Chains A and B, each alone.
Chain A
Amino acid sequence: MELFGIFITAAVINNFVLSQFLGICPFLGVSGKLSSATSMGMATTFVMVMAAGVTFLIQEYVLDPAGLGFLQTVSFILVIASLVQFVEMVIKKVSTPLYRALGIFLPLITTNCAIMGLCLFAVMKDFSFIESLVFALGAGAGFTLALVLMAGIREELELANVPLNLRGAGITLIVAGTLALSFMGFAGMKF
């Protein structure tokens, strides 16, 4: 039950995009079309789970025993960057259609602060290995949810009559604000 709580908390109550402001760049950049939003969400979730696992092991068995806490930032970002590269190579080898579908989104994931943030939060909250993985899965699900919701709204927005000065980024941020407002409804939930 506790693991379920961690999952729900990461996915909706503390949604990474709409209440913690992590991963805003892909949220604004890749949410134009529903299909690409879904692919991006999936790829990010995958990297999140992998990164959470690897950085947990590094923190637990390398940084902490050796007293190298100050190398946390450098080592985490290197792990994430090489992991993204690795995932890209594996997907290319195993499934060409999937690689084509994700294509350009894969390298973009390195600079997605949701992943780095996730690894840092998991360390700060003193999660165990399994808890870290579930936390990552929840965060990924929340990220995908926000991206898909936004993409759906933006596809409708194409047809709307938006004030001239707010077209583009302005209206997107205001829509995101409204979404964030509705996600505040989950704030009362406790696990």
Chain B
Amino acid sequence: MSKKELSLGADFTKGLWDQNPVLRQLLGMCPTLAVTTSAINGLGMGVATTFVLVCASLMVSLVRKAIPAQVRIASYIVIIAAFVTIVDLAMKAKFPALSKSLGAFIPLIVVNCVILGRQEAYASKNNPLRSVVDAAGMGLGFTASLIVLGGVRELLGNRTVFGFQLLPDVWEPWIVMILPAGAFLTLGLILGGVNMLNRHREQAALQTARRASLAVKEA
């Protein structure tokens, strides 16, 4: 996945859309679905995951030459677990309410496949600067997807986004949206929407290419 000709900027932005961990790679689904009952939960989870991802990528990239290939997965997991413990303790101290509503899903960041996936696919093969940029892009893409999913579910299920009421009182809240079933349905439809957008973009690109080749022939 790592192409040498990719610029630093492109390394950062690929995580936002083209290789968005949730919407395109379908990684890290468990926290994505479980905590997004509101936009603020999505934000909290996203920031915590991004922090662990960036720190672990930096660390793995720094020690990548010292780790024997046979024990690399176990080493990555220990590095990740150390940073997750830091986040867990910090959250409990600074944001007790958020920490309570995210519950077991903070320690469960350890087994988030987005993080392990980036260590294996990127940080173990690239220099620290690139790894951090890549991790920050992926983390931001992950956070953005979580906020969108949480926002939609909170809006339809509770009339609010980030605690601000956006829909009028006459709107009957769709309770199902903040229940488990709503998470699956919303993400399924969002994925459908993303596919549709991409298909449109591809077709538009194809048409401009066709027009350009026609123009060349005519000339």
Interface residues of A (CB under 8 A from B): 18-25, 28, 70-74, 77-78, 81, 110-113, 116-117, 120-121, 124, 163-167, 169-174, 176-178, 180-181, 184
Among residues of B, the one whose C-beta sits closest to the C-beta of A113 is B111
Partner of B33, one of A21, A71, A112: A21
Interface centre among B29, B176, B180 (most CB of A within 10 A): B180
B142 to chain A, nearest CB (A): 15
Q: Is the CB of B176 within 8 A of A181?
A: yes
Any A CB within 8 A of the CB of B110: yes
Please, which residues of chain B bring their CB within 8 A of the CB of A167? 195
CB<8 Å pairs between A and B, sample of 6: A70-B89, A73-B84, A116-B107, A170-B189, A170-B191, A177-B188
Any A CB within 8 A of the CB of B192: yes
Q: Is the CB of B107 within 8 A of A112?
A: no
How many positions in chain B have a CB within 8 Å of any CB in the partner chain?
A: 42
Q: Is the CB of B192 within 8 A of A163?
A: yes
Q: Is the CB of B188 within 8 A of A72?
A: no
Q: How far apart sit A20 and B185, CA to CA, in the bound complex (Å)?
A: 15
Any A CB within 8 A of the CB of B95: no
List the 5 shortest-distance A-B pairs measured between CB atoms, nearest first. Answer: A177-B184, A173-B188, A21-B34, A177-B185, A174-B188
Known: A74-B82, A166-B195. A177 touches B30 (CB 8 A): no
A110 to chain B, nearest CB (A): 8
